[in-house]
Amino acid sequence: MEWSAAALSLRLALCSVGLLAPLGVALAWPLAFGRFRGKAALDALLLMPLVLPPTVLGFYLLELFGPRSPLGRAWAWVSGGTLLFSFSGLLAASVILNLPFFLQPLVAALGGVDRRLMEVSATLGERRARTYFRVTLPLAWRGLLSGAILAFAHAIGEFGVALMVGGNLPGRTRTLSIALFDQVQAFDLAAAQRTALALLAFAFLVLFATARLRGREPA
Amino acid sequence: MSLRADFLVRHPGGPEIRASFELELGRFAVTILFGPSGCGKTTVLRVLSGLARPDSGTVVVDGQTWSRVPAPERGVGHVFQEPALFPHLTVAQNVAYGLRRWPAPARDERVRLLLERVGVAELAGRRPGAISGGQRQRAALARALAPRPRLLLLDEPFAALDRVSAEQLKRELRSLLKAEAIPALLVTHHRGDALSLGDHLLRMEEGRIVQAGRPEQVLTGITSDGGPGAETVVRARCTGRREGLLRLEAGSAVLYAADPGNVSEQVHLCIRSEGVALERADTGALSHRNVLPARVEDLRAEGPLTRVRLDCGFPLEALLTTWACRDLDLRAGAVVVALVKATAIRVIPVDGQGPRYDGPIHR
């Protein structure tokens, strides 16, 4: 197994979840409780990465992060480097790609919290934002955890977008699934077996953990 | 301090609820919002606490219009039918929820005092899932009282409780509210609760407040609450006990009624018109405990029956067959004897012995 690729995948997944947590928690509230124009469009936009072919998303991110795009130029001005083929670019792509995996279970869990509890909180003097953090979010913790686990697992195994945005630079953007692709290309089937098995076992463990979490949800 | 409500709520495709009333807020008093299920009582409470917006009209408190005041800033406590405790917090944390801005020592002391008052001090560290329904509702009551709201709304707080827990809480509720000196608006469709807990009563029917006054005044003549009705409701003083009977003074009359237990000095008597018989003269030995000289005020035909309004030291109604009225030659002004079996009188104790609230309450 290629340990540097494994370490990079792990780092990418952890950083993705670290950024997704505040972003997802902030976005989940209007999605679960908000009533505003364009909510359906926002819903669809945030869910797009689930159904788009990774190469399509990768292509647009390539355009968006490119050195001639406004974002690419701004990034170069701030950091002196490029977003493309760097860990930062890979991380940004991973956050966008995994947002729906984080949001879906969280929004569903928030929607399942008894509305009366939020009303009680209001009559006890707490405004909506504080009620969200004191009552709603703590009661939706399973959804928060499932979202984090799913996003983490998906970030570990991402291939298409990672390859298009990050390329294949060992130690910088070469993740475990890209390493597997390389191993197969080089007919190193023994190494490919080990990498594939590690990813398989990991995916199973993650899904098993989320299933256990769901199973414990009160009926 | 006073609260004036005058608003209209339209439920899409449903009923229209119009409320117009005044509440005194400065001092302790329990106002009952009384009416059958589905008449709009809960909607009125939701508008008062800011959980629902009226389609027109508003609530004015001390000259301040509440249209744009959100629920968290109103200082109105709300106890729902279901306790709705926060399941992830302990009982003590639930009670402390509305006291976030209080300094910690004062907050802890307030929580301790309230848990003791509602009788769940020993459950402070438990989660709501680990205590009974009655205990949960007590904790919910303590939680709503904790921030010292200027008005407490109670939406049928006994409805989801078993009979024993409900009876216990009913017995303690009034003194609890009084100890906290918090005025309350209590929704109920049980006349017994209305009579024993209320100082004042607003009666709702089909989305309108149709009557306001003292509970016994308003509830006299009303039997449409689904419970055992009684056309005569009168306040009385219990002045003695004998052989399982209470001696009761109502107006200038003395009556005897079966002792339901737990009766303090002040009570309400509920007498069904069907339980009153009339005679033209005192015939001596009768099984009726209550033989009351009375004067006929007026008669009103109700199909084959006639409703007779009497004055026997307090206003009393009797329901007789028209045939019997003819035999007795009943007319307004006739002097009769009203016979009431002691077992036909329901005695409802009145909680709290303090002075009754007689302030302005409705327009």
CATH of the domain at B292: 2.40.50.100
Residue B254 within any structural domain of the chain: yes
| pLDDT value of residue B360 | 46
User: A with B: how many residue pairs have Cβ under 8 Å apart?
Assistant: 58
Of A141, A142, A106, A136, the closest CA to residue A121 belongs to: A136
Q: Mean of the pLDDT values across residues A153-157?
A: 89
Judged by average pLDDT, the poorest of A35-44, B81-90, B335-344 is B335-344
Q: Which domain holds residue A130?
A: 3-215
The CA–CA distances, whole Å, from B95 to A113, B71, B78, B114, B210 equal 20, 18, 13, 8, 36
List of chain B residues whose C-beta atoms are within 8 Å of the C-beta of residue A142: none
B259 — pLDDT class (breaks 50, 70, 90): confident
Question: B172, B190, B219: which is the final residue of a domain?
Answer: B219
Q: Do B265 and B186 share a structural domain? A: no
> Do B212 and B45 form a contact (C-beta atoms < 8 A)?
no
Residues 6+ apart with CB under 8 A from A58: A93, A160, A161, A163, A164, A165
> Do B163 and B235 form a contact (C-beta atoms < 8 A)?
no
Question: B219, B246, B278: which is the final residue of a domain?
Answer: B219
Inter-chain residue contact B70 with A122, CB threshold 8 Å? yes
ipTM of the complex: 0.84
pLDDT tens digit string along A37-78? Answer: 988 998 899 888 888 888 898 899 989 998 889 998 999 899
Nearest CA in chain B to A117: B84
DSSP per-residue letters across B132-201:
-HHHHHHHHHHHHHTT--SEEEEESTTTTS-HHHHHHHHHHHHHHHHHHT--EEEEES-HHHHHHH-SEE
Q: Best-predicted range by mean pLDDT among A63-77, B136-150, B295-309, B349-363?
A: B136-150
| pLDDT value of residue B288 | 67
| pLDDT value of residue B98 | 95
> Do A148 and A20 form a contact (C-beta atoms < 8 A)?
yes
Q: Which of B97, B107, B155 to mutate to test the interface with A (most CBs of A within 10 A)?
A: B97
| pLDDT value of residue B9 | 92
Whole-angstrom Cα distance, residue B49 to residue B76? 6
The nearest CA of chain B is from the CA of A169 a distance in Å of: 47
Higher pLDDT, A215 or B176: B176
Residues of chain B with pLDDT > 90: what percent?
Answer: 37
Q: Mean of the pLDDT values across residues B177-200?
A: 88
A5 — pLDDT class (breaks 50, 70, 90): confident
Whole-angstrom Cα distance, residue A40 to residue A31? 9
Inter-chain residue contact B78 with A139, CB threshold 8 Å? no
- Is the pLDDT assigned to residue B228 strictly greater than 60? no
Inter-chain residue contact B144 with A123, CB threshold 8 Å? yes
| pLDDT value of residue A219 | 41
Whole-angstrom Cα distance, residue A33 to residue A124? 20
Residue B226 within any structural domain of the chain: no
Whole-angstrom Cα distance, residue B118 to residue B146? 11
- Mean pLDDT of all residues belonging to chain A: 89
DSSP helix/strand/coil, A35: coil
| pLDDT value of residue B85 | 96
> Do B22 and B5 form a contact (C-beta atoms < 8 A)?
yes
Q: Do B195 and B91 share a structural domain? A: yes
Inter-chain residue contact A119 with B51, CB threshold 8 Å? yes
- What pairing do the DSSP bridges indicate for beta strands B200-205 and B184-188? unpaired
pTM of the model: 0.79
- Mean pLDDT of all residues belonging to chain B: 85
- Give chain A's domain count: 1
The nearest CA of chain B is from the CA of A120 a distance in Å of: 7
B356 — pLDDT class (breaks 50, 70, 90): very low
A interface residues, B as partner, C-beta within 8 Å: 114, 116-117, 119-127, 134-135, 138-139
The nearest CA of chain B is from the CA of A110 a distance in Å of: 14
Whole-angstrom Cα distance, residue B226 to residue B224? 6
Give the DSSP H/E element, type plus range, for residue A139: helix A137-139
Domain containing residue B164: CATH number: 3.40.50.300
Q: Which domain holds residue B265?
A: 232-349
Which residues make beta-bridge pairs with B32? B186, B201
Q: Do B215 and B79 share a structural domain? A: yes
Residue B224 within any structural domain of the chain: no
B363 — pLDDT class (breaks 50, 70, 90): very low
Whole-angstrom Cα distance, residue B206 to residue B298? 29
The CA–CA distances, whole Å, from B16 to B2, B44, B54, B153, B362 equal 25, 11, 11, 21, 20
Q: Do B293 and B182 share a structural domain? A: no
B167 — pLDDT class (breaks 50, 70, 90): confident
Whole-angstrom Cα distance, residue B283 to residue B279? 8
Torsion of CA B153, B159, B161, B164, to 10 degrees: 100
Q: Mean of the pLDDT values across residues A118-130?
A: 95
DSSP helix/strand/coil, B208: strand
Q: Mean of the pLDDT values across residues A102-128?
A: 95
| pLDDT value of residue B233 | 82
Domain containing residue A15: CATH number: 1.10.3720.10
Alpha carbons within 13 A on the beta-carbon side of B138? 27
Candidate from B73, B75, B84 with C-beta closest to A120: B84
